[in-house]
Amino acid sequence: MIDTLAGALGFGVQDPSFWMPLVFMVLLFAIIVAAAVLDGFDIGVGCLALFAPAHLRPRMLGLLSPWRDANEFWLFLGLGLLLAAFPGAWGAIMGQLYLPLTLLGLGVLLRSISFEMRLRSPHPQQSRWLAGFAAGSLLTALSHGLLLAQIVVSYRTASGYLWFSAFIGLCTFAAYCLLGSAWLMMRVGGELRARSVMWGRRAVRWTAAGAVGVTVVLAFANGGIFLKWSDGAYPAVVPILWGVLLICFVSTEMCLQRMIHSSYRNTALPFVMTLLVFLIVLGGLGYSFFPYLVLDDITLWDAAASVPSLRLVLSCVVVAMPVALIFNLRVYWRMFGLSRPPEPPDFQGKTTKAVLLSAPRAASGVPPTQAEGKPGPDALR
């Protein structure tokens, strides 16, 4: 397949002009997946804060503290790599996605400011910044859905496509809520876990509806993609992906149902199945659009920078990628497993104990040093 593709483009397989854009496309896709998954549970927990009772919201945001700053890394890395490696597609893509990207920037800015200001503000004002973080998460989730819908319909703006964009925005919001609730089920117990199960049950069906909508519209709005699915080199790929998606949604629904009627035990199955849904949807989009960045218009090789520029960027990636991987492995290795809330020290109990110990000494007139078995000032004479 690689030889056929290289020959059709007029390149050799060993030609850097052929394989370097492929390498950067794989890196860009990996960054998009990391951003959707690792930043996804962060966005989902922020969206769920809109529905959580006031006494549970600080605990939900407290769980995000170790990963909050690391989650923003993927967005900026992906935009920077797209600009550096594929400058020929930057104008065409950014010009068509101006509105959802603006909403995304506003949402990310509101989330970052609200989260940091909540940590530094007096207690009476923390609820306002928490509401700002939830609103920013909602805006970010909706903007992701608008971005996905616009890419699926090839940037068409007719009225029917606008309604489809609004529907996918709502389903994307539900998908992030499902990912956030599944993560909370692993991390906490008690009331918050029980509420997370209920949130997940409401979100899983909307997520499934969004996956079906994206697939159907992607097939019927783009004739080339429909032919690729049905008569392409790998016609079995799409049915297999559909079957795995069905298994993921059914198993998640059954697991949540069992947790409601039998027990609220800790389980990672909904989180793993939701991650698999995200990976399948993104992988299906990548398979459908390859080798185009703008469907039927701009390929990877049309948009790629010159070979010397790609070599420079690739050398920077080779140096920076191990550092980024070590940093993120260090940050994310504790994102799984049950978390226990910190217990404040019992200052009142210690004070009471000190008072009780000092009361007999004061009544007997014995200096504290002698009562403790230590020589007093008279013993030193």
Give the tens place of pLDDT for each residue, 157-200.
777 788 898 999 999 999 999 999 998 888 887 888 889 999 99
Per-residue pLDDT reduced to its tens digit, 56-78 = 888 888 888 766 666 666 777 78
Cα–Cα distance for residue pair 284/318, rounded to 1 Å: 27
- Within a 10 A sphere around the Cβ of 165, how many other Cβ atoms? 23
Lowest mean pLDDT segment, chosen from 117-121, 240-244, 248-252: 117-121
Indicate the pTM of the whole model: 0.81
| The pLDDT value given to residue 146 | 92
State residue 170's pLDDT score.
94
Q: How far apart are CA 103 and CA 107, in angstroms?
A: 6
Distance in angstroms between the alpha carbons of the first and the last residue of the chain: 97
Q: Does residue 358 carry a pLDDT above 70?
A: no
Contact 6, 145 (CB under 8 A): no
pLDDT of residue 376: 45
Quote the pLDDT of residue 1.
61
The more confidently predicted of residues 292 and 142 is: 142
Question: Is 248 within 8 Å of 278 (Cβ atoms)?
Answer: no
Q: Give the 3-state secondary structure of residue 263.
A: coil
| 276 compared with 71, residue with greater pLDDT | 276
Reference 104, options 70, 131, 78; nearest CA is 78
pLDDT at 227 over 90: no
292, containing H or E segment: strand 292-294
Q: Which residue would you say has higher pLDDT here, 68 or 216?
A: 216
